[in-house]
Structure 1
């Protein structure tokens, strides 16, 4: 059965910080979609021309709204401001680097029975974007399925054979009334993993999350993106947010076990970052002394550092037949 929706119901939210090079492309891709009733850009105290470049993509339809923070407060606060300042019954997050595949919302809104719905993501390296065309996208089989909380958490536990393919990268469409009924918003203590925590809270509150195989979102991969840089305080805040989720009484034993596994992965990254901080402050001997009583963690940190150095080689543009790669399928 097709879902009956008004022609314009989607509010696209773009939190942007120093995104003058890409924000116009993101805004234009959202305004091209007839189901979009508003595009809300929150300039999170950028030091460049982000707001001006966003305004340059205005199509004159009156759907573009640009807000600005006086101080940088992070993507969670920016998105919450956009939520409070918008009216669309459906909400869709778009990163300032990325863009929407034409027809995306028409395809998603044709599916019924969801509080949250997401589709596949195509990852395109930044050097390959100028030559990218939508006809390059793979034509996945149609169909959708419901994703459980256990499915989602398990899909975010990194594996060595999957290059940054966690389901936390999903950019779904969310029913506003689901957020309002459950009292859920973005956790403003987080500058890392805010999407993961939000989706977990929605699923823990009983929200129905459906996945569609077709690709409707293009994520541009940059070698030094904000999502790839983790500060110690950001990782500590994410670990603390896991503790809050673990206090949810409705979690099953399997969900709790998976969440603990994901938290332990975050704690390992936190240890890695803390070790590097201590090395920077007092030298290698100082860092080693602080971890001498935790040899297992120290070994893990050494492995992570070696892996990190290997992954920092200059980004090479993959062969044409390898572009793009996909989140799933």
Structure 2
């Protein structure tokens, strides 16, 4: 059932040194008839990102480009974009990603949601002219417990956390509950905002239809996070856990995620100290963290095992794209 009245969308793009990709991202948003605003925040770029963004303007007066003189991080950039926009619906687009044509119509055919995501196609060759498979727009709801559980990665398995999904969000819900991105986070800022919204009762739905193209880049900002970014993320979980009203299933799964991130932090901290001050100093540090000794030791063992097993990869055709969610091809019900 469709909403009583179709609402327009603001697309917000936080960009740092994205001059090569920002134009494609902006153009993919501006061709969508339901998009009434595109707000780009150039987060202290040094490569002409703001100029490249302006070159993508289609003359419809829907594009706004804001420039930060210094880098403030994706959370601050997104908050600035939200503050500079007015549309009742907010969509996030990363500066090196793009929308497939017609993304939003199948989404807005759904009702009863505060956050609504569609499937993602991970693109391995951005130069190829790919179109996603047509999946049925079947919808399902995601609970807070399911969302957090889907964001706990496992060694040896392809990353597929549902935190990668890019939902459209209702501004009214965010405003009512005073929810914005945590500007102290430079890693997991999306995860944190979605968890806080779900804890406030947000209705989160996902459809299998694919309208978002995520370009796979091994040098992305998220792949170059600092050790202290992990600390900030587990501290964000701690802040959520400080709410005495959290029900036990919610508290339990967020605690699992917090501990998972904390173990990753301690592993990275050990490696940092080893690189800076030597193995003995790193071992002394680890012995002061008895709670994490087993987890860090296991991670070190697996690192060494993987390094020992490394062999030249056999020649094979690289993948073109894969989907985050399975889907039923349209017309095959």
**TM bucket by the smaller chain?**
over 0.9
Q: Which residue of 1 aligns with 2:299?
A: 301
Q: Which residue of 1 aligns with 2:148?
A: 153
Taking the aligned partners of 2:309 and 2:76, their CA distance within structure 1 comes to 31
Aligned length: 323
Answering whether residue 38 of structure 2 is matched by residue 39 of structure 1, we say yes
Contact 1:74 1:191 in 2 (8 A): yes
Answering whether residue 127 of structure 2 is matched by residue 130 of structure 1, we say yes
Distance 1:13 1:314, change over 3 A: farther
Distance 1:194 1:28, change over 3 A: same
Any gaps of 5 or more consecutive residues in structure 2? 327-333
Cα offset, 1:310, TM superposition: 8.7
Distance 1:81 1:309, change over 3 A: farther
2:127 alignment partner, SS class: helix
Contact 1:15 1:75 in 2 (8 A): yes
Query: Which whole-Å deviations, capped at 9, do the CAs of 1:246-303 have from their partners, x for residues lacking one?
Result: 1233422111111111111111110121112101221122212221354413313304
Q: Which residue of 1 aligns with 2:330?
A: none
1:129 alignment partner, SS class: coil
- Out of 221, 235, 241, the position equivalent to 1:240 is 235
Q: Return the TM-score normalized by structure 2.
A: 0.91
Query: Which whole-Å deviations, capped at 9, do the CAs of 1:15-54 have from their partners, x for residues lacking one?
Result: 0000011000000000010000000000001011101111
Q: Which residue of 1 aligns with 2:58?
A: 59
Query: Which whole-Å deviations, capped at 9, do the CAs of 1:85-105 have from their partners, x for residues lacking one?
Result: 101110000000100011111
Answering whether residue 142 of structure 2 is matched by residue 144 of structure 1, we say no
Contact 2:118 2:210 in 1 (8 A): yes
Cα offset, 1:5, TM superposition: 3.1
Taking the aligned partners of 2:137 and 2:150, their CA distance within structure 1 comes to 21
Taking the aligned partners of 2:315 and 2:37, their CA distance within structure 1 comes to 35
Q: Return the TM-score normalized by structure 1.
A: 0.92
Deviates more, 1:224-233 or 1:154-163: 154-163
Distance 1:317 1:272, change over 3 A: farther
Please, what is the CA RMSD of the aligned residues?
A: 2.3
Distance 1:38 1:85, change over 3 A: same
Taking the aligned partners of 1:2 and 1:155, their CA distance within structure 2 comes to 28
Q: Which residue of 1 aligns with 2:165?
A: 170
1:288 alignment partner, SS class: helix
Contact 1:121 1:217 in 2 (8 A): yes
Distance 1:318 1:271, change over 3 A: farther
Any gaps of 5 or more consecutive residues in structure 1? none
